[in-house]
Amino acid sequence: MMTSTPTALTTLQNKRVLLGLCGGIAAYKAAELCRLLVGAGAQVQVVMTKGAQEFITPLTMQALSGQAVHTELLDPGAEAAMGHIQLARWADLILVAPASANFMARLAHGEASDLLTAVCLARRCPLALAPAMNQAMWSNASTAANLGLLKAAGILLFGPANGVQACGDVGPGRLLEPNELLQLCAAQFATGSLAGQRVVITAGPTREAIDPVRYLSNHSSGKMGYALAAAAIEAGADVTLISGPTDLPVPERCKLVPVISALDMLAACQVQAADIFIAVAAVADYRVALPAAGKIKKSAEELSLALVRNPDILATIATSTPRPFCVGFAAETDNLADYAKAKLHSKGLDMIVANDATSTFGNDSASVTAYWPGGEQLFEPQSKTQLARRLIALISQRSLIPHV
């Protein structure tokens, strides 16, 4: 049996795990699993099928998770508090343990006839099943066919183990031990995919001085850049965040370089060694040619400001030597895909992430499409935290492929 390690304790910290329970004698082990997940710092919400409640009470799971347990799909009270869509959006990982043969059959065929199947169908995060059933049911051709469909849909399988079963049979179909399930959950987050990589991220707006008290700027909140910094740290990277002014807390274990203007940001970027450079900052395209030394007094009816182009920080870094893997962001109000792909080429990037400028700025969630030479991936609307983790996973995967 595996034991709980510091890895599980750190990687599950603040992760949102939705634990689904189906009916089966192994449901009692889910109580211990819930306790271990909470002990490892995870936030746990429990969904139980009717069958599960025959084996273990919602009260037990509520006491262990510290949260009300969800059981009904069509309960108006429960739907108002946290309905199936909210639960699905909330989760970073869904683990169904134990997963019964009946549940797997319904899931394989896209049913949403109870709360647990509905949440699984609406999921935006990885889904893992820990099957538990009699060995003959596990070996049955129908279960095997359903399993094929579930695997094809990208659903993860934790176990089952071989051994003596509650019914006296011996064979495959035992639920993995709670500690083993804990480690497998932790492994979903412990990508370590950027271990030892130096990641430099620009974030937030820049401010271009007009005079000592006024500036030109934009609505960037910095949320996406900060979320990417946190996700890169989670993935083991050594992260430097070069940020224009924002109100956001600095992610832990992240080196912050605060800057104000585009020229400051460029200078800060040029002195940072990077293996991966992610430009999320909404850099002002122009700055005031000659900022006034003193406050400009109002007198004339009209005032003209001469503006000059700011250097393109990302394009500059993309031509530096040694050249990091370069990722840009393109916020556009129209022709999103075309403009983003054009920037991928004109700035000489390895990847560009396109988002809709009308809905992104300041929001906590976003939907984006990543483009790279010869490929693209759509990310459905989701929280910037979740999106950042998935973008970092994609960036780490693509940055392993030799680039120019």
Which residues make Cβ contacts (< 8 Å) with residue 366, sequence separation at least 6?
A: 224, 355, 359, 360, 381, 382, 384, 387
Q: Which is nearer to ligand C5P, 276 or 314 (CB)?
A: 314
Calpha distance 364→362 (Å, rounded): 7
312 is a site residue for ligand C5P (CB under 6 A):
yes
Per CB under 6 A, the segment of 26-34, 99-107, 150-158, 309-317 that binds ligand C5P is: 309-317
Q: How far apart are CA 79 and CA 86, in angstroms?
A: 9
Q: Does 391 bind ligand C5P (CB under 6 A)?
A: no
Candidates 131, 165, 132; CA nearest to 150 is 131
Taking Cα atoms as reference points, which of 290, 275, 283, 282 lies closest to residue 239? 275
- 328 near ligand C5P, judged by CB under 6 A: yes
C-alpha dihedral, 284 to 227 to 118 to 394, nearest 10°: 90
- Positions 236 through 275 that interact with ligand C5P (CB under 6 A): 262
Rounded least distance, CB 225 to ligand C5P, Å: 9
Question: Distance (Å, rounded) from C-alpha 73 to C-alpha 292?
Answer: 63
196 conformational bin, left if phi > 0, alpha if psi -120 to 50, beta if neither = left
Closest distance to ligand C5P from the beta carbon of 281 (Å): 4
229 contributes a contact to ligand C5P by CB under 6 A:
no
The smaller minimum CB distance to ligand C5P, of residues 343 and 398, is found at 343
Please identify which residue in 158, 226, 277, 329 interacts with ligand C5P, judged by CB under 6 A.
329
- Show contacts with ligand C5P in window 330-389 (CB under 6 A): 330, 343
CB of 318 to ligand C5P, least distance (A): 9
As a whole number of angstroms, the distance between CA 79 and CA 24 comes to: 26
Comparing CB distances to ligand C5P, the nearer of 185 and 228 is 228
Among 202, 243, 261, 355, binds ligand C5P (CB under 6 A): 202
**Binders of ligand C5P in range 23-82 (CB under 6 A):** none
Of 27-35, 67-75, 245-253, 306-314: span binding ligand C5P (CB under 6 A):
306-314
Structure tokens at 24: 């089966």
Q: Nearest distance from residue 50's CB to ligand C5P, in Å?
A: 50
Output the smallest distance, CB 262 to ligand C5P, in A: 6
Q: In whole angstroms, how far apart are CA 101 and each of 108, 134, 150, 217, 259?
A: 10, 9, 12, 57, 57
Q: What is the DSSP letter of 282?
A: B
Taking Cα atoms as reference points, which of 49, 402, 400, 375 lies closest to residue 193? 400
| CB nearer ligand C5P, residue 186 or residue 353 | 353
Annotation says 120 is catalytic: no
Q: 272 in helix, strand or coil?
A: coil
Residue 345 φ then ψ, to 5°: -80, -45
Rounded distance between C-alpha atoms, residue 381 and residue 378, angstroms: 10
Q: Comparing C-alpha atoms, which of 276, 280, 277 is closest to residue 196?
A: 276
Tokens of 1: 């049996």
Question: Please, what is the minimum distance in Å from the beta carbon of residue 329 to ligand C5P?
Answer: 4
CA distances from 131 to 24, 78, 205 (A): 10, 27, 49
Which among 22, 34, 125, 167 is annotated as catalytic?
167
Smallest CA-to-CA distance from 102 within 146, 63, 69, 72 is with: 146
Q: Which is nearer to ligand C5P, 103 or 329 (CB)?
A: 329
The residue from 31, 199, 259, 313 that contacts ligand C5P (CB under 6 A) is 313
Judged by beta carbon, residue 108 or residue 284, the one nearer ligand C5P is 284
Q: Minimum Å distance from CB 378 to ligand C5P? A: 19
Q: Report the residue from 17, 18, 69, 279 that binds ligand C5P according to the rule CB under 6 A.
A: 279
Q: Which of 233, 283, 354, 368 lies at the binding interface for ligand C5P (CB under 6 A)?
A: 283
Closest Cα partner for 309 from 262, 345, 346, 274? 262
Binding residues for ligand C5P, rule CB under 6 A, total 14
The reply to whether 314 sits near ligand C5P by the rule CB under 6 A is yes
**Considering the complex, what minimum distance in angstroms separates the CB of residue 355 from ligand C5P?**
11
Active site residues: 167
- List of residues contacting ligand C5P (CB under 6 A): 202, 262, 279-281, 283, 310, 312-314, 328-330, 343
